[in-house]
Amino acid sequence: MLEFIQLLKQRYQTVVAQLDKKNPQFLEYQQRIEQLLHGEAFIRKGQLISDMPEFPLQIAVIGPTQAGKSSVVNLLLNNTLAGVSPLAGYTVHPHGFCHGLSSDDCFGLQHYFGRFQCLEERMLSRNRFDCYSLADSNTRSPLLPACVCWDTPDFDSIDAADYREGVIRTIALADIVILVVSKEKYADQSVWEVMKTMESLQQPTLICVNKLSEGSETVVLQSLEQKWRQHRRDPVPEMVPLLFQKHGAMPSWPAAAGQAVFKLTKKVAHKKHPLYQQQLLNYYWRQWLEPVFAEHHAQRNWQSLVDQCLGQAAKAYQRDYLDHPHHYETFQNALLNLLNLLEIPGIAKVIGKTRRAMTWPVRKLFALGKDRFQANVGQEVTVLKQIGEHVMIQLADKLLEKTETESLPLAWWKETAGVLRQKKATILQEYGLAVDEYHLHFQQDVDATAHRLYYKLQEQPATLNSLRATRVTTDVAALLLAIQAGGIGIHDLVITPMMLTVTSLLAESAIGSYMHRVEAELKQHQLNTVKIALFEACLRGGLYTLPQQSLAANRFNVSEQLVSQAEQALKEKKHGLRLL
């Protein structure tokens, strides 16, 4: 699942890089990237808990700019480790402070932060945001249990986008969250957008309202409570008011809230993390995958268009070749093969030599006009290649129509039309080679049909002998005419009369109905073979995957198989046990 979320996040980042900032999708996709960062970090936290069940408690102090987060961290630690400044955006890296334990106890933290590097605080640079610091606190505070207390950058300043990922990773790591807001900032929309996103993490939370004027606590806390109820469905957490202090003095922690953090530790439920993780992913799943599903829908529409065109191609093949009275030649070729099988042993050899000698002039003419002759006998090949061209034209027209009628994803259809133009020649070339190969191999089926007829004739000796006699008589008559004609026109004299005679005899014989059945079966077999070998294996195979060959950066290109695998993982937890 982690790999899938990371892939989805990367695709969003790539797509966003292509969008104009004025495009409504820009902000929407940016928000989804942050949600995906939360999801990715929360999954990493689950792995950390699974691998190290005794990992130290993590507390994240978060809030908007100038809320006084670093001051609250120092107050909680009873120390001055967190840097404090009146300048907005002073803290740009997550700073972890180990209270009541050593940084050596946090082995595994680097694996959680991934590409973020752990550096000493003095080594951190404001020009590099993929890093964090971890230091030991040499004092003990009555306000905190043994833990790592994190001081985090703000999430609402102009520059926050640069270091936002560090904030998100620290938030997802936290077992307890302490939200610090001031009376000026608690109602800001940015605060509640973050808190709404964090709701699915189900972290025990404490709210510190900093810089309050004495006497204003009740009004501000009531207003803050209303804000919480507007944006969150879980119970309103405990609120700790901190009064404004002059000259940068550290605020005082109310005695009544002395055990507030300790109370929250009892609500930490690591065993429920897999359930929380699943709920988080389920909550955002449809939204995150909305553009991916749109591409899948477009892909299915495209495949439907391909199927429609190929269905029409099959009908055109049947109409323009198989059922065409002048173009269909396959069964006639089978009957020609049958003529060779009807040759009578003994005299067939003599007649065959004589025929070859007398037809030499015609065969010589055939050799000179070989190309034209092949064009005449290859009617099926011609029809099939024309059909392939027509399929491409149809699909191009349908893609143009889609670009004019579809609203989402419009770019997907335009890019697919462009890929079709680029790949058309290659697809047709491969299809043409497949047509030639099919035509060559199908001659075996034609020969098998001739043998079926011959074997059936053997069951009817009278009909077989009649046909053989006709064969000899026609051959002799044709040879006599050939002598008178000087060898010219032998093809028409030998083949055409004999074909008419044999066809008539077969049709009128006892196997006439069988012959018609064999012809019908040959046509059906030929149609099925063309559909499977050419229209499905060749054309459909190449056209179905055509959209996936687009290299456009605004494509998500996440396959349905990957999504299906991720959804299956979402339904099950480790070892395949379903979460109920």
In this structure, the answer to whether residues 321 and 194 fall within a common structural domain is no
Burial 193-213 (b: 16+ CB within 10 A, else e): ebbebbebbbbbbbbbbbbbe
Whole-number percent of the chain with pLDDT over 90:
25
Query: What pLDDT score was predicted for residue 575?
Result: 41
How do strand 58-62 and strand 131-136 relate by DSSP bridges? unpaired
Confidence band of 429 (pLDDT split at 50, 70, 90): very high
Sign of CA dihedral 362, 367, 371, 374: positive
Encoded tokens for 8: 């989805």
pLDDT, tens only, 394-426: 999 998 888 888 766 778 888 888 899 999 999
CATH of residue 252's domain is: 3.40.50.300
In this structure, the answer to whether residues 353 and 418 fall within a common structural domain is no
Query: What pLDDT score was predicted for residue 354?
Result: 45
In this structure, the answer to whether residues 317 and 361 fall within a common structural domain is no
Confidence band of 371 (pLDDT split at 50, 70, 90): very low
Range of the domain at 215: 2-288
Q: Specify if 451 maps to a domain.
A: no
Element (H, E) at 28: helix 24-51
Query: What pLDDT score was predicted for residue 89?
Result: 57
**Better pLDDT: 185 or 542:** 542
Query: What pLDDT score was predicted for residue 394?
Result: 92
In this structure, the answer to whether residues 74 and 138 fall within a common structural domain is yes
In this structure, the answer to whether residues 391 and 485 fall within a common structural domain is no
Encoded tokens for 536: 């499905």
Q: Specify if 516 maps to a domain.
A: no
In this structure, the answer to whether residues 240 and 129 fall within a common structural domain is yes
Total domains present in the chain = 3
Q: Specify if 212 maps to a domain.
A: yes
Q: Specify if 570 maps to a domain.
A: no
Q: Specify if 392 maps to a domain.
A: yes
Among 175-179, 213-217, 420-424, 508-512, the least confident range: 508-512
pTM for the full model? Answer: 0.72
**Better pLDDT: 323 or 476:** 323
Size (the chain), residues: 580
Of 173, 204, 163, whose CA–CA distance to 44 is shortest? 173
In this structure, the answer to whether residues 215 and 275 fall within a common structural domain is yes
Is 158 in a helix, a strand, or coil? coil
Confidence band of 572 (pLDDT split at 50, 70, 90): confident
In this structure, the answer to whether residues 250 and 101 fall within a common structural domain is yes
Among 1-10, 77-86, 258-267, the least confident range: 77-86
pLDDT, tens only, 451-500: 888 788 777 777 667 766 665 565 544 444 444 444 434 344 344 555 55
Q: Please state, rounded to an integer, the average pLDDT across all residues of the chain.
A: 81
Of 152, 115, 118, whose CA–CA distance to 134 is shortest? 118
**Better pLDDT: 475 or 333:** 333
Q: Specify if 30 maps to a domain.
A: yes
In this structure, the answer to whether residues 210 and 306 fall within a common structural domain is no
Sign of CA dihedral 380, 381, 382, 388: positive
Give the residue-averaged pLDDT of 238-261. Answer: 81
| Max intra-chain CA distance, the chain | 131
Instruction: For residue 134, list its beta bridge partners.
Output: 96
**Better pLDDT: 185 or 192:** 192
pLDDT, tens only, 58-79: 999 998 888 888 888 989 998 8
Query: What pLDDT score was predicted for residue 529?
Result: 93
Q: Specify if 495 maps to a domain.
A: yes
Is 127 in a helix, a strand, or coil? coil
In this structure, the answer to whether residues 187 and 225 fall within a common structural domain is yes
Confidence band of 327 (pLDDT split at 50, 70, 90): confident
**Better pLDDT: 81 or 348:** 81
In this structure, the answer to whether residues 393 and 373 fall within a common structural domain is no
Whole-number percent of the chain with pLDDT over 70:
81
Q: Which of 262, 288, 314 is where one domain is finished?
A: 288
Give the residue-averaged pLDDT of 96-114. Answer: 88
**Better pLDDT: 474 or 382:** 382
What dihedral do alpha carbons 30, 35, 37, 43 form, nearest 10°?
-160
In this structure, the answer to whether residues 109 and 207 fall within a common structural domain is yes
- The three state secondary structure string of 494-531 is HHHHHHHHHHHHHHHCCCHHHHHHHHHHHHHHHHHHHH
**Better pLDDT: 503 or 78:** 78
Whether the per-residue pLDDT at 378 is higher than 80: the answer is no
Q: Quote the CA–CA distance of 332 and 318 in Å, as a whole number.
A: 17
Whether the per-residue pLDDT at 507 is higher than 70: the answer is no
What dihedral do alpha carbons 28, 34, 36, 40 form, nearest 10°?
180
Give the residue-averaged pLDDT of 238-262. Answer: 82
Q: Specify if 60 maps to a domain.
A: yes
